[in-house]
Amino acid sequence: MNSSETHAVIVGGGFAGVACAKQLQDHPGVRATLIDKNGFHQFQPLLYQVATAELTPADIAFDLDEMFLAAETVKVRVADVTAIDPAQHSVTTGTGDVIQGDILVLAAGAQPNFFHTPGADEFAFPLYSLPDAERLRSRILQIFEDVAEHPALIDSGALNFVVVGAGPTGVEIAGALAELVHDVMPHRYHDMDLSPAQVILVDLASDPLSVFSEAAHEYATRQLNRRGVKLQLNSSCKEVARDHVVLSDGTVIKTHLTVWGGGEMAAPVIADSGLPIGHGGRVDVERDLTVTGFPGVYAVGDAANIPDDDGSILPQLGSVAQQAGGWVGRNILADRSGDKHTPFEYHDKGILAMIGRRAAVAEIGEHRHELHGRVAFAAWLGVHAMLLANMGAELKAFTAWAEEFYLRPHHRSAELLDPTNINTPRIHWRDDKPASKR
């Protein structure tokens, strides 16, 4: 038994970082410093609900200080990590502070991967963080407000909403955006002709939700079509401009809003860490989640390529990140006790996607038992409630929202539909670009 204190520095307050800190809390001789640039955990699976004005930002943001209020051995630091020194188990923050520990856990999260698409970094709206969701919601609501005042903007594609990427993120935002456009906004703007409005989902694949089964492809296609989503498949986005996108087949679509759900990669600080980097700019790790050649360094969540027992790489899912983060905590404690590390074993909860109200698809468990509709929504709700519960987050608001979302008619509060409540500059239609950069 090691009698000296073990200090773990954990970078990132997402599912993996929080799970690791919770596993380490209150163990004698172990303390953890959890560093996050925002100081809150964002419940990423519901970002699209904030973007389409179903939820407020406060509904999916959980203060890390409050989360660890009773944990005397966990200290939360609000700071932006700008450099990593894996050999010294230390990080440098934007203010120049150096935080060093005995163990370094990298759970720094993700950023959008634009795949070098011209204009995407400047003009597309990604959806990987709470600020992303707020900027996107602001843009959507401002467009409708401006079109209500100046209907001629429709001719310039103001009511064309393009979503790039037909994976779960793209399908969820496309379905929710179509419902906002076609079912909610007509009740707010009674005198505006919204018939030209369209949501266009673009992907190089031949079906939406390509990682799901063929039956799920058909279900998703049917549900998206029912909501008025136009599927532009077998075609990739080749350029994003201020007022249009260009597809690989030469199609030009006028638009002032391109939502980017086309892929993600590790946070930029990971690329400069000197660690072995693999697919998606993520750190390649061993089965016990350590990094070869760097004793005492772990990588998890969207910062890591985590191998399964068959050698394949596990998907970037909240359940993978949360389970891996807790596993790292247990291996750190095993080190302290003089026990051996154990290889990570992922309990597969399946893959899930919401397509809108009363429409969901789920493939549950290792054998991918397929569910659609109400039962799939119940499975989706259960998995996400478990993610929240494992963080110690309050479930009452989540379950109340779920009941409201699934069972009752469309509604939005005045606060949610009022763009003036969002601190984002107005759109300048002759110089149309995102209001702020990441």
The answer to whether residue 4 scores a pLDDT higher than 60 is yes
How big is the chain by its Cα radius of gyration, in Å? 22
Q: How confident is the model at residue 437 (pLDDT cuts 50, 70, 90)?
A: very low
Given a cut of 60, whether residue 433 has pLDDT beyond it is no
The pLDDT of 184-200, averaged and rounded, is 92
Cα–Cα distance list, 158 to 140, 162, 199, 253, 434 (Å): 10, 11, 11, 11, 15
Question: What is the mean predicted confidence (pLDDT) over 133-146?
Answer: 93
Give the pLDDT mean for 290-312: 94
Q: What average pLDDT does range 368-372 have in this prediction?
A: 86
Exposure string over 88-117, b if 16+ CB within 10 A, otherwise e: ebebbbeeeeebebbbbbbbbbbbbbbeeb
pLDDT at residue 304 in the model: 96
Q: Which pairs from 400-408 meet CB under 8 Å and 24+ separation?
A: 401/54, 401/55, 401/59, 405/49, 405/54, 405/357, 406/357, 406/358, 406/374, 406/377
Query: Which tens digits make up the pLDDT trace of 55-97?
Result: 888 888 999 999 999 999 999 999 999 999 999 999 999 999 9
What average pLDDT does range 214-236 have in this prediction? 95
Which structure tokens are listed for 95?
């203010």
- 400 falls in which pLDDT band (50, 70, 90)? low
Sequence ranges of the chain with CATH classification 3.50.50.60? 6-112+265-337
Q: pLDDT tier at 350 (50, 70, 90 boundaries)?
A: confident
Strands (E), 24-80: 30-36, 40-42, 61-63, 74-78
Highest mean pLDDT among 114-118, 361-365, 394-398: 114-118
* Least confident range of 28-42, 88-102, 350-364, 415-429: 415-429
> Burial level of 50, CB count in 10 A (0-12/13-18/19+)?
buried
State the CATH class of domain 114-262+412-438. Answer: alpha beta
Q: Which residues, other chains included, contact 28 with Cβ-Cβ below 8 Å and sequence gap of 6+?
A: none
Residue 359: what pLDDT? 87
What class does CATH assign to 6-112+265-337?
alpha beta
pLDDT of 225: 96
Regarding beta strands 244-247 and 237-240, do their DSSP bridges make them parallel or antiparallel, or are they unpaired? antiparallel
Active site residues: 172
Whether residue 398 has pLDDT greater than 90: no
pLDDT band with cut points at 50, 70 and 90 for residue 432: low
Q: Is the pLDDT of residue 417 over 80?
A: no
Residue 275 has pLDDT above 90, yes or no: yes
Q: Which of 43-52, 60-69, 103-112, 423-432 has the lowest mean pLDDT?
A: 423-432
Q: Is 289 left (phi over 0), alpha (psi -120 to 50) or beta?
A: left
pLDDT band at 438; cut points 50, 70, 90:
very low
Angle, CA 266 vertex, CA 45 and CA 78 arms, to 5°: 75
Mean pLDDT of 336-349: 92
Residue 393 confidence (pLDDT):
67
Position 435 scores a pLDDT of 46
pLDDT digits (tens, 9 = 90+) for 89-105: 999 999 999 999 999 99
